[in-house]
Amino acid sequence: MSVTTLPVVEAAAHDAEKCKIANDMLARVSEKWSMRVVLFLSTQSRRFSDIERGINGISQRMLTRTLRNLERDGLVTRTVTHTRPPRVDYELTEIGFSLKLSLSALGGWVQENEAAVRAARAAFDGRTRS
Amino acid sequence: MSVTTLPVVEAAAHDAEKCKIANDMLARVSEKWSMRVVLFLSTQSRRFSDIERGINGISQRMLTRTLRNLERDGLVTRTVTHTRPPRVDYELTEIGFSLKLSLSALGGWVQENEAAVRAARAAFDGRTRS
DNA sequence: CGGGATCCGGCGCGATACTG
DNA sequence: CAGTATCGCGCCGGATCCCG
């Protein structure tokens, strides 16, 4: 029953359940590798090793965990082909793709304000280091 | 020179510097308390203790750190009034407010897809726990 | 090939106590 | 009132080894 529990959504529709989901989604999206994976899958379906090679510096462990989380949230689908060697393909779902679109909007903000943020940081650091 | 280093912004304008800033901003925004603070400041200027009381469960330490980070990025301003007891007011800058607008868009996505995500999680958990 | 199991360091974050 | 300092836990994320 707290007054301000929800970070993203504002006044409208402010129940506890949605707050939790909103927090979780924001957390998910910022989990260091999630966005890279979503972006990498945004154009086409990819198999595990393709993603691993396509995303620079991700470990096998983290790729697995990231994909599991995205799958759990219904953002990607996992398709296993039982051959030898086995083959697993990952693909963005419809809602996964819509999330990617929303995030691209945030990307727009970054493009417009990146210079200002960098300048602000430099000014702040110069001010406090003295 | 990696091919895919940037999570948010896509094909356009893909230099390393902007990538780093984009990552940083996404990290900042997801720092557990940042969004709550930004949202709380979105309507008006507030003093330290007001924010502390307004945001349910934040510790003094984390509020201080969060505000410092936001200030460093040029998203909030800090105004000190030297009285006894002292008084410090925080206010959203213009670019801080524009960020809030972009994030509200993401909030819209959450509102639309929260039910789907919750259902997906339930289905996934039921599938794997068996 | 596509993972799972385990070990481990770093640090995000909270609780508490102290200061100008 | 608005911080800073210190301590400690949890957990994210990397490395390494093993398995079907």
Residues, chain B: 130
The stretch A29-57 carries a mean pLDDT of 93
DSSP alpha helix (H) spans, chain B: 16-29, 34-41, 48-54, 60-72, 94-129
Contacts of B77 in chain A (CB under 8 A): none
Mean pLDDT taken over chain A: 85
Contacts of A30 in chain B (CB under 8 A): 26-27, 29-30
Quote the CA–CA distance of A112 and B100 in Å, as a whole number: 14
Taking only the tens place, the pLDDT of each residue in A52-69 is: 999 999 999 999 999 999
The stretch B14-38 carries a mean pLDDT of 79
CB proximity A64 to B under 8 Å? no
Contact between chains at A95 and B113 (C-beta distance less than 8 A)? yes
Taking only the tens place, the pLDDT of each residue in B30-64 is: 888 998 899 999 999 999 999 999 999 999 999 99
DSSP per-residue codes, A66-103: HHHHHHHTTSEEEEEE--SS-EEEEEE-HHHHHHHHHH
Contacts of A8 in chain B (CB under 8 A): 35, 39, 103-104, 106-107, 110
pTM for this model (two decimals):
0.82
**Peptide bond between residue B86 and the one before it cis (omega within 30 degrees of 0):** no
User: B90 CA to D17 C1', in Å?
Assistant: 52
Contact between chains at A36 and B119 (C-beta distance less than 8 A)? no
